[in-house]
Structure formats: C-alpha cells, structure tokens
Amino acid sequence: MGLWDIITGQFIDVIEWMADADDVMVGRFEREGNEIKYGAMLTVRESQTAVFVNEGTIADVFPPGLYQLETANLPILTTLQSWPHGFKSPFKAEVYFLATKQFIDLKWGTKNPIMMRDSEFGPVRLRGFGTYAIRITDPATFLKEVAGTDDYFTTDEITDQLRNLVVSRFAEITANANIPVLDLAANYDDLGNFLRERINPEFKSLGLELTSLLVENISLPSEVEKALDKRTSMGVVGDLKRYTEFQAAEALGKAAENPGAGGSAMAMGIGFAMSDRLGRSLDPQPETHSEGPPPIPEEPQYYLVVDGKRAGPYDASELPQHAANGTLTGDTLVWRGGMRKWRPASELEELSAALASVPPPLPEGA
C-alpha cells in the first residue's frame, strides 16, 4: 500500500447521521477539517435531509436516498469550488442533517389570563392551553433563519418562540371571535384549525409547517367557575320549595333512626317547624285586607289649550261645564297624567260624555 493510499484511507468513506434523541432537529456531521473523500457514500434516511455548506454558503441539498459523492451529485458545490472538469481529490464541506419528521406533543399555554367581553357574563378572563406539532419543510430556510451554525439543535431552543407566537394569535382570535364562553368547548376543533391556518404563514417563514394545533382546555378564573357551579346547582335543584321539603323529610328520617341524639320527638318538632317556616316563606302570601275600605282613588285632572295658552287643571266633573260654554270642543287639545303628548279631546274616549252634553249647532234658517 502506497503512502497516498494510507493518507486517503483516513478520509471519510460513509457519511450518515443517527439522531440520539427524539427532540433533535439538526445535527452536524463531525469531521476534523471537514474533509470528505471523493466518491464517499452519503446515506440520507427517511425523515432526513442532508445539506452541504461550503464556506458559510448553503450548497447542495439531498433528500432521502443513497448517493456517491461525485461531481454529478454536487453541482452547486462543484460550481462554487470551480471544478469544471471534475475532481478526484478530497474536498472540504460541512454537512448538516435535518430531521424532517413531525415533532409532536409540543406544549403551549397562556401565562396570563386573556381579557375578553362575553355576551352573557360581560368582561371575563380566560386561560387556554393545548399541544401542537411541527416539521421542517424547507431545510435551507430553517438552517439560515433558525439553526444557524449550531451543530446540535433541539426543539427546546425554539419552542419558547413558537409557543409565544401561538399564544399571541390565540389571544387575538379568541377575543375577536365573539363566541360565548359556554360555547367555546363545543368549538375547540374549529378554533384549533382556524389558529393553525392563521399561524402557518409565520411558521413557513422559518422553514417550518404547523401540522396540527389542539386546544385542550379553555378555563375561567376559579371564582367565576365557583359562581357558575352554584348557578348550575340551582338549575339542577329546580323547585326550591319541594327540595327544602325533601331535605327536611330526610333529616326527620335520620333523627328517627337515632333517637339518642337529642330525642326523636324534639327533632321531629324542630323539623316540622323548619318545614312550616320555610314553606310559608316560599309560598306566595295571600292578599290580606286591612280594616275599613281602601282610600277613594283620585280623579284625573285635565289641562286644556285655550286661546293658545294652557288652562287648568280641571277635574273630570268640571269638563261638561267647559263644554257647555264652548271652552272645550272636540278639537281642543287636552292633556292628563300618563299621556305622552297633547291630543284632541275627540280622541279621548273618557271625554265623549262631556262632549255629548253639548247640543249640535242650530240648522241654517232656524
């Protein structure tokens, strides 16, 4: 074996990458001096992409497959290195492997409550949380915009940024959706799909795809939930009087089973007294009549417009006299308490008797 064979045998013959953890998104193929043997075999497994970087510039991108590294398989790198006629010697390049599988069960959640206006409860504060999944769809963009020269990039290095993006859009969309709080649980799927569609363009700019977004829970503050539970309990109880009677009957039954605890007769008496008192407090009270007749209702008083001025007030008993002397006619504007505006006397039915007492005008020639 010659010296050249010994030297060239030290260069890499096989280039491949096996992630050692489920959360690794990018791994750099380590080789001192980044020297790769001409004709070396590149193995890119399913759910992987290999990216060759030359002096900081992204060159060739390899999808899953088995490749022998020659001029034909490295067109961009060949151009960058000015190898118009091919090359036979080792070359230098950084090789990054990117995992293109889905990274699932990533968590998102609101750190602080979101203020929104609900049609039933008014201003409320909501919290929400769930999970989402992503995958790398544009390895070159992801490498340039996110991972950079990191030789070992995991999801932990980007999930904070992605979570903040999800929460920000969740707050905006939920506040503007006008969905009642009590109906949100029935719209988790639609809300998650709508969020994913809205956020995906922003993920795309990072070379990522948001493959799924799940809203697992939207909750109210504990004080509001307690009040809501009480309101629900009242709805379940229904007829409060019958429920109270049932509770009293149950208490009497327990007291009868344990006569030593204070005496059964006393317990029964207390139970009946409580039941009677609660029953009377819940029953509508019958109408009671005080001694003597009720006060005489006051007669309404009327105002008239006479010669463009307000006249009155007049009792109803005085109106026939005004009708007789011509002060009150069917066209006279009249107002009394409870009316919104002045109206002609002829439109008020209660004045028809007063107007009828006026004889009609004499016939002509009489």
Separation of alpha carbons 16 and 19, rounded Å: 10
Q: What is the pLDDT, as a whole number, of residue 47? A: 94
Which contacts qualify for 226-235: CB closer than 8 Å, 24 or more apart? Answer: none
**Which two structure tokens, joined as six digits, stand for 107?**
């968590």
Per-residue pLDDT at 30 exceeds 90: no
Average pLDDT over residues 61-75: 89
Per-residue pLDDT at 260 exceeds 60: no
**Which is nearest to 114 in space by CA: 181, 182, 171?**
171
Per-residue pLDDT at 149 exceeds 80: yes
Q: What is the pLDDT, as a whole number, of residue 287? A: 54
Per-residue pLDDT at 288 exceeds 60: no
Over the chain, what is the mean pLDDT? 80
In this prediction, residue 87 has a pLDDT band, given cuts at 50, 70 and 90, of low
Number of separate helices (H) and strands (E) present in the chain: 10, 17
* Dihedral Cα 100, 105, 106, 108, nearest 10 deg: 150
Average pLDDT over residues 56-73: 90
Read off the pLDDT of residues 169-217 as tens digits, 9 standing for 90 and up: 988 888 777 778 878 877 888 889 989 999 999 999 999 999 999 999 9
**Could you tell me if residue 39 is left (phi over 0), alpha (psi between -120 and 50 degrees) or otherwise beta?**
left
Which contacts qualify for 152-159: CB closer than 8 Å, 24 or more apart? Answer: 152/24, 152/26, 152/27, 152/28, 153/24, 153/25, 153/26, 153/27, 154/21, 154/23, 154/24, 154/25, 155/23, 155/25, 155/103, 155/106, 156/23, 158/25, 159/106, 159/107
Helix 264-282 to helix 240-257 angle (10° resolution) is 180
- The residues near 298 (Cβ < 8 Å, ≥ 6 apart) are none
Read off the pLDDT of residues 225-254 as tens digits, 9 standing for 90 and up: 777 677 666 665 556 666 666 667 777 666
Spell out the domains of the chain, with CATH numbers in brackets.
3-99 (no CATH), 103-220 (3.30.479.30), 301-356 (3.30.1490)
Separation of alpha carbons 166 and 191, rounded Å: 12
